[in-house]
Amino acid sequence: MRDGSQMNQRAQDGIKLPLLCGNCEGTLSEWERVFSERIYYPCTKARNGPLVYEEWMLKFAVSVSWRSLLWYYMEQTRRDETESESEDILLKKALGTWRTYLMGKLPHPKSFEQHMLLMDCLEASTPPPMGFPPNVNRFFTRGTYMGLSYSNGQPRFVFTKMGRVFLFGFIGIDKPRQWVGTKINVRHGSIGGNVTLPTPVFHYLADRAREAEDRYEAMSERQRGVIADTIEKSPEQFAESETFEMMKRDIELFGNDAVFRSGAKQPG
């Protein structure tokens, strides 16, 4: 995986922080293992649904959203970027509810639901939706991201992107019925297939894709050189990679000029 801030560096995992004791870390690791085997790896092989899950799925999803939001909250505190009182109360309530659920003291995470999308690439015959930029397929299928979505100054969901897996931890969603086919149930269910999302969510994802594109264009020459050297050393391997496949998909959708608008050879 690659992080947007250091795209020349590959990583096997995401950000690591000392949040848990050994026992809790072991519990979360077991949920992660099952999720990887049952959902993540099948999804990376373009088996986007429906994929069946059991009780471990919601546990895994809540653990990810809890860690993502806690990381965000800690970063805001470190930078002394204080939230409004109502926002702070809502964020703490979400964190507390998710923590209590993970400890087995709640049967479900109440209104702080978990919703998931298993993304695939857009075909050339499909018009790019909602003004997505020309890196849409690379954004849909590659890389990681964590962020908090706001509306009218209040947090709505924490978004965690893990390759093709898009996870939304609800915080202040007032119309969850507009989300169809994405909610993770407590006991069991399936994920993938046809879904319906509110239009603002597509705008949010389009903005995140533009951010990823802007970060690439702002990459230093040294970072670009590292990526170029890696490709030149193993051109056959790069030609068989998902990054190259998604670049071709973007070119089919938008054309060479749009994909390479900066004039640089950008592999992903």
What is the model's pLDDT at position 246? Answer: 83
Asked if residue 261 lies in contact with residue 239, where contact means CB atoms within 8 angstroms, the answer is no
Burial of 248 (0-12, 13-18, 19+ CB in 10 A): middle
Q: What angle do CA 213, 144, 254 make, to 5 degrees?
A: 35
Tokens of 108: 């479900």
What is the model's pLDDT at position 262? Answer: 46
Asked if residue 130 lies in contact with residue 206, where contact means CB atoms within 8 angstroms, the answer is yes
* Region for 87 from its dihedrals, namely left if φ exceeds 0, alpha if ψ lies in -120 to 50, beta otherwise: alpha
Burial 96-122 (b: 16+ CB within 10 A, else e): ebbbebbeeeeeebeebbbbbbbbbbb
Residue 218: pLDDT above 80?
no
Residue 1: pLDDT above 50?
no
Task: State the CB neighbour count (10 A cutoff) for residue 193.
Answer: 11
pLDDT band at 45 (very low <50, low <70, confident <90, very high): confident
Helix, strand, or coil here: 52?
A: strand
Tokens of 15: 């950000």
In this prediction, residues 66-79 reach a mean pLDDT of 84
Higher-confidence residue of 23 and 260: namely: 23
Tokens of 160: 């965690």
pLDDT band at 231 (very low <50, low <70, confident <90, very high): confident
Tokens of 57: 């799925």
**pTM of the entire structure?**
0.84
Compute the distance between CA of residue 183 and CA of residue 202 in angstroms, rounded to an integer.
Answer: 17
Compute the distance between CA of residue 76 and CA of residue 83 in angstroms, rounded to an integer.
Answer: 8
Compute the distance between CA of residue 247 and CA of residue 260 in angstroms, rounded to an integer.
Answer: 10
Q: What residue has token string 């000029």?
A: 257
In this prediction, residues 24-36 reach a mean pLDDT of 93
Largest CA distance in the chain: 55
Digit-coded pLDDT (tens) for 238-259 = 676 777 778 887 888 888 888 8
Compute the distance between CA of residue 194 and CA of residue 196 in angstroms, rounded to an integer.
Answer: 7
pLDDT band at 18 (very low <50, low <70, confident <90, very high): confident
Compute the distance between CA of residue 254 and CA of residue 265 in angstroms, rounded to an integer.
Answer: 16
Digit-coded pLDDT (tens) for 148-163 = 999 888 899 999 999 9
What is the model's pLDDT at position 142? Answer: 85
Q: What angle do CA 27, 1, 220 make, to 5 degrees?
A: 135
Digit-coded pLDDT (tens) for 197-216 = 998 998 999 999 999 888 87
Q: What percent of the chain has pLDDT over 90?
A: 40
